[in-house]
Amino acid sequence: MSLSNFGVMDLNSEPQASPTTLPAPPRLVPEIEEELDLQSSSDGLGELNAESVVEAAELLLREGAPHDFDVVVIGAGPGGLTCAIQLAQHGQSVALVEREELGGVCLNRGCIPTKTLLESVGALRLIRRSQSFGISVSGEIHPDLRQMQVRKREVVAELRAQSEKLAEEVGVHVLRGTASLLGEGGIELVEQNGITKRLSAIHIVVATGSSPTKLPITGTDLKGVLTSDEILELEIVPRRLIILGAGAVGVEFASIFAELGTETTILEKAGAVLPGEDEDIQREMKRSLEDSNIKVAVSASVERIEQTQTGLRVVCETEDGELGFEAELVLMATGRKTNVEGLGLSNAGIDTRSGIIVVGEDGATNATGVWAIGDCIRRVGWAHQAAIEGRRVADAILGIESDIDTRFVPACYYTFPEVASVGMTLKESQKAGLDARVGRCSFRHNGRANTSGDNGGFVKLVVEMGSGKLLGAQIIGPHATELINEIAVALRDGDTAERLADALHAHPTFAEILPEAARAALR
C-alpha cells in the first residue's frame, strides 16, 4: 500500500517536519474576537453560532497552552497514515499512535495480502488455460500455498517499509502503543513496554478502524472456525471450506481456495450474493462462482456450528427447511465491529450510535478538536474511503478550503471476474424519484477483451433521462476495478453520457467499453 495511491506525495525533497514549539501565552480575548470577526453591534452577534464561538475559544486556549503535538492521530491505517503525513507535510507537529503495524488492516490483514494471493491464483488460472494461447505446458501444475504466503509477506513488508520511510521523512512521530482519550486534548498512551505516558494536542484524529466479528451463535469458538485474519495465514490447502457471507471478503476467499482445489461452499443470509449490488451483477456473479465449482446457497440463515468426527457442520435455516453443510474449516465473513472499546470516548464526551462514532460531513465529532475517519464512523467501509476522509480532515485542521468530494465511493470485488460499482443503480435512482435508463455493453464486443481471452461480463451505465447526467455504473468483467475510477471522476464532475460517449479512448483498450455503454444509453 504505497501512500501515493491515496493521494499523499512521496517527497524526495528535504523533510518538512517542524519541531514542537510552545507559543507564548496569547491575549485570548482579542484573538478570539479577531478569529470570529466579532462586531460590537447586536446584529453582528446575532449572526454568530454559539457552538462555533465556544469551539473556537477552546481551540485558541489549547493553542496558547503548552502541548506536545499539534495533532495526534490514533490508528495508522490508510486513513490515519494519510492524514498524518499530509499534516506533517504542511508543517504540523504530528504524532501517529499505532499498537500494531503501520498500514492497518488494509496493508497487513486485508487489501494487500488478499490481492497478492489473488494475483498468484490469477497466474495459476492463466497457466491452466495456456493451451488456448498456443502455449503447451508439460507436466503437472502444483500450486504451493506456502510459497504464495512467502510472496505475500514480502509484498506486505516492502509496502510497510515504504510507509514507515515516508512517515519518517516528513517528520511524523510514530508512537507504538495503545491510546485512550482523557478529554480536552489529553491522551493516555500505554507503550508496548507497559509504560504509561500522557500526551496533549490541539487536535486529535481517531482512525482506529474495525475488526472481524463472529456471528452470535453456538459453535463459533470451535477449532477450525476462522476469521479473515486467521485464514490469511493458512499454509495448507483445506479439503473443504464453508464461507459464511457473500460480500467482498467471502467471495474473494472463495475465489482463492476454489482455484487451489478446495471444495468451497458459500452460505449467504440475504437473497443474493454481493448484497446491495445491482441485481444483474448479483446474478452474473453467482453464475461465475458456480462455474468455478463454488457451491452457493442464498437465503440461508446460520443457526449453529457443530463439531463432527471429521470436522465441522454448519446448520442453516433455508427455504427448503433446516440443512447441514460439512467442512474442515469455516470462515466467518459476516461483518466487522468498530475498534472503539477502551478508547475513552465517554471521557471526551464524544457521541456514538451503536458503537459507531458520530461525525459531521467534515469528519468533526461533537467534541472540540476531535475528528474521526474510516471504519470507526461506519463499521464497514473501504480503504480508499478512509484515505480520502483522512485528506479531508487534514485540510479542515489546516484551514484549507477543500474540494474533496466523498459522495462517490467505488465498491470493488477482486474476483474472477472482477466486479465494481459506483453511484446509483437503476432501482436506486427510480426509488429516488429520478427518471433514468441504462446503457449496457458486453465485453464480448470489446477488442481488447477478446485479445486477452477474457471477454465475459458487461458494463451498465445509469443515466438520467432528459439531462443525460450520469448517475452510476456497475461493471462485471476484466479490469472492472480499474475501469470504475473513470466513472467515479465523471460522477464527481457531474458529467453526462454524451460527454463520455464523445471522449476519445485509445484502441484497443478495455476502457473503450465505457463510451460504448454511454452511446447505448443515448440511443
Catalytic site residues? 507
CB-count burial class (<10 Å; 0-12, 13-18, 19+) for 483: buried
CA 147 to chain centre: 27
Q: What is the DSSP string of 189-231?
A: EEETTS-EEEEEEEEEEE---EEE---SSBTTTSTTEE-HHHH
- 8 Å CB contact between 366 and 350: yes
Residue 486 has phi, psi (to 5 degrees) of -65, -40
First CA to last CA distance, the chain: 42
Residue 14 has phi, psi (to 5 degrees) of -65, 145
Q: If you ran DSSP here, which 8-state letter would residue 6 be given?
A: G
**What is the distance between the alpha carbons of residues 128 and 133, in angstroms, rounded to a whole number?**
11
Residues 6+ positions from 210 with CB-CB distance below 8 Å: 105, 336, 337, 338, 339, 375, 376, 379, 380
List Cα–Cα distances, 28 to 24, 52, 62, in angstroms.
Answer: 11, 16, 11
List Cα–Cα distances, 42 to 29, 45, 56, 355, in angstroms.
Answer: 18, 5, 20, 42
Helices (H) and strands (E) in the chain, counts: 16, 23
CB-count burial class (<10 Å; 0-12, 13-18, 19+) for 487: buried
Q: What is the DSSP string of 396-421?
A: HHHTPPP----S---EEE-SSSEEEE
Find out whether the peptide bond into 478 is cis, omega within 30 degrees of 0.
Answer: no
- 8 Å CB contact between 230 and 214: no
For the CA atoms of 300, 303, 306, 310, the dihedral, rounded to the nearest 10 degrees, stands at 0
List Cα–Cα distances, 402 to 84, 370, 388, in angstroms.
Answer: 17, 19, 11
Residue 451: count other Cβ atoms within 10 Å of its Cβ: 10
- 8 Å CB contact between 84 and 172: yes
For residue 437, give the nearest of 457, 467, 458 by alpha carbon.
467
For residue 501, give the nearest of 487, 518, 484, 522 by alpha carbon.
518
